Structures are given as structure tokens and as C-alpha cells.
Amino acid sequence: MREYYEHWENIDQHFTQIKVAAKQQSRKVHVGQVPWSPILMQAIYKVLYWKGIQKWILGGKISSTVLKKGAVLGVKKFHLGHLSLQREEITKKIKGAIQDYQVVKKQKDRRETWVNQMIAAQAEAQNTMKAKLWKRLWQTEQSCSTSRRVKQVLGDGAIHTGLCQVTAPVSEEDPGRVTITTKQELEVVCLEEAQQHFTQAANMPMLQPPMFDLVGIDNVDSPAFQQILDGTFVCPQDCDPYLHKLIPYLAQPEGIPEITIRIYDKYKCSWEWARETTASSPLTIHFGHYIAGVANEVVGKLNLILANMRLASGTAPTQWKKMLNIMPEKLAGNDNMEKLRIIMLFEADFNHNNKWLGRVTMQSAEAQKLLAPEQYGSWKNKAART
């Protein structure tokens, strides 16, 4: 299947360009800028009601239940005579409703007026003092208002900066430490730390000759790889003695079924449960693209075909090979280089593939009773911390 790698790569890049173009053309929705109040909602439902009447008159499909609800919330009462109005009259009604909405929207004290009315009604119903209720409700209002302002400041439009300095050892011989603040020096020490972190297994026997020459990193089609699965592989004499003991335990147990390919229903469900805020790599394709994609069956199935193609062939597109490493503080205020947390951000579809593969592998192992009793991590109803 690897001979089709170039063809798949072209398809993947073309599909990525389509997603980027779709994002640029999509409408950006900004909500939450206008404080809620009953009079504002009434003005909104009034606009929606008259637009619903217009849709009905023009022959569109709209439920009478929706119209009656809009009438109750927007114009107080539903009248059958509204369905026989002329188009010009309906257009005037819609324009008038929109003008009323704009007037209400500009009223800065509408929410305060509603809160005061609510306080008066509750005080009368509970037979309590207005001052007590007023203090409690307005404290809640102020907390909510402050929270909204903080979210706006820290929103997508804000500029978030990383660490301005780190503390690193002077050298292997010198136990002293030095504070690094310049951009170039920060990049150098961070890259060195990441290199050391992600190459800890580089000198392990499986990544050294002669095993590396026989198996490689991803040569799943090699005879040696298949022999290891079959339990017939014989280690070369000059291999590490512990590797001689490990290899027999890597054989695939008998009666273990192969992991079946994903079906669309499960693929769609997993994306519907995903969070759009999950961080991904520097490319502009993020979780939101795939969450929105499953809303359209054609787009969702195309994404599934591309994902399954990579799993079946054991290949990775070019964009999966470029990842983003971030190094936040593990403990607030501790900028020691060795204490920073290194997090690698994958592409959204790569991340999703890895999660699915890990999940079904654990499910298969659990179904075949291959998990050791002391295995707690990633096991249903168990946690590694207990």
C-alpha cells in the first residue's frame, strides 16, 4: 500500500486547502455582548415571529407550534389573521420589530431595571427586606460582569506571552545556575532540553544494530517484524541479553482478533463529544473543522476515509510529522529548565486517530483478559492514582 503514499499525500493536502478556504468564508459569530433581560428577549422573539409569518406566507415550512410560541413570547398572542396579511404589510412589521429591537438594545439600564423589579417581587413574595435581597443579587451581578470582562480580555484577541526567562545549569561540570532572558538563548536551551527529553530511548537495543537493521522504526512489512508477531523470531547472538528475553513476550497471543476498521457512526459520535478548545499544532486545521465536518455526512465520511487509510497503510502525511512543543511551568513561579513541562501538540486528526487506537487496543486487551491485575491506568473503573 505504500506505493500509493504520494497519491494520498496529494489528496490530503488538497483536502486541507479546502478546509482552510471554508474557514475563511464562514461567518464569525460574536455573542454575549448584550446583557440579557426579558424586554430584550421579547424584542428578539417579536422579530422571529414576524419572520416566521413571512416564511409561512411565502410557502416555506414552519411549524405552527413554533409560530404560537413566538407569538406568546414576542407579541403576546397568536392571531390567524396574521397569516393572511399582504407581503408589504409583513415587511413593514419586520422592519418595525427590528427597529424596536435596536431601541431596546441601546437602553443601558434595562437589565438594572429588571433586576430591581425582580428584587421587589421576591421581597414581597418572601416577606423579606429589599435591602438584603438587593445586596445578594447585585453581588452576583457584579461577579458575573467581572467574569465576562476577564474572559473578554483573555479571549482569542488577547496576546498571550510565554516565559520571559528560564534558569538553567551553567554546564555539566559547573553546578551553578544561570538565568537566561534573550530570545536566542531561550530557544537554544529549550531545544536542548526537548532533544534530551524525546531521545531518551535512542540508545536502547531495539534502535541499535543489528535489530534496527532488521526491524527499523516503522518497517511493519519486514520479515523480522512478522516473525516477532508469530513468535518464531531468533535474535542475533550479539543482541542485548535482556532483548533475548523480551522478544518472545512480544508474540501475538493465539485467538486475538484483528482490530476492525472504524465505522462512520462511531467516528461521528467521537467527534461530537470532542472539545473544540482542545489545542492542536500550528496548522490552521483544528478540532472545530472536524466537529463541524461530521454535521455533513459527505464531509464526515471523507475525513473517515482519510483517517482509516493512514491506519491501514501505516503511513503518515507530511503535516503529521510537524508538531508543536510547548513548555509551560509545572509549578507556578518555578522556571528551572528541568522542572518545565513539555507538551507535544499533534494535528487534530492525528490526535483523534491516536485516541481511538489506544481505546480499542485497551478494549481488546480487556476483552481477552490480557491485562495484569496491577494494571490500573487507562482501564475502565480504575485509576492509576488509587
297 inside domain = yes
Residues 340, 166 contacting (CB under 8 angstroms)? yes
Across the chain, where does the E strand assignment appear?
Answer: 166-169, 177-180, 324-326, 343-345
Q: How far is CA 143 from the centre of its chain?
A: 28
> Which single residue is written with the C-alpha cell 413571512?
54
Name the pairing type of β-strands 177-180 and 166-169.
antiparallel
pLDDT of 220 > 50? The answer is yes
Residues 308 and 350 in one domain: yes
Residue-wise pLDDT for 110-128, tens only, equals: 877 887 888 888 888 888 7
Same-domain check for residues 363 and 272: yes
Per-residue pLDDT reduced to its tens digit, 294-329: 999 999 999 999 999 888 887 888 888 888 888 888
Structure-model confidence comparison of residues 50 and 278, the more confident one: 50
Cβ-contact 67, 56 below 8 angstroms = yes
Q: Is residue 19 part of a domain?
A: no
Residue after which a domain boundary falls, among 110, 141, 169: 110
pLDDT (0 to 100) of residue 270: 93
pLDDT value of residue 30: 63
What is the total count of domains within the chain? 3
Query: For all residues of the chain together, what is the average pLDDT?
Result: 84
In whole angstroms, give the CA distance from residue 141 to residue 137.
6
pLDDT value of position 158: 47
Give the separation between CA 349 and CA 263, rounded to whole angstroms: 16
Higher model confidence: residue 33 or residue 91?
Answer: 91
> Is the model's pLDDT at 290 over the cut of 50?
yes
Per-residue pLDDT at 334 exceeds 50: yes
> What pTM was computed for the model?
0.64
Q: Is the pLDDT of residue 346 over 70?
A: yes
In a domain, 140, yes or no: no
Last residue of a domain, one of 67, 90, 110: 110
pLDDT of 285: 84
CA pair distance 119, 108, nearest whole angstrom = 19
**Do 235 and 272 sit in the same domain of this protein?**
no
Question: Nearest CA to 348 among 268, 256, 278, 249?
Answer: 278
Give residue 148's pLDDT: 64
150-162 pLDDT tens trace: 665 555 544 555 6
Q: Which domain holds residue 222?
A: 202-252
My answer on whether 239 and 314 are in the same domain is no
pLDDT of residue 237 exceeding 60: yes
More confident residue, 279 or 211: 211
Please determine, for residue 27, whether its predicted confidence score (pLDDT) is greater than 80.
no
Give yes or no for a contact between 264 and 304, defined as CB atoms under 8 angstroms apart. yes
**pLDDT surpassing 60 at residue 386:** no
CA distance 231 to 307: 30
For the cut 80, the answer to whether the pLDDT of residue 106 exceeds it is: yes
Residues 283 and 247 grouped into a single domain: no
Same domain, 315 and 343: yes
C-alpha distance from residue 7 to each of 10, 11, 73, 285 (Å): 5, 6, 56, 21
26 closest CA partner among 235, 385, 289, 301: 289
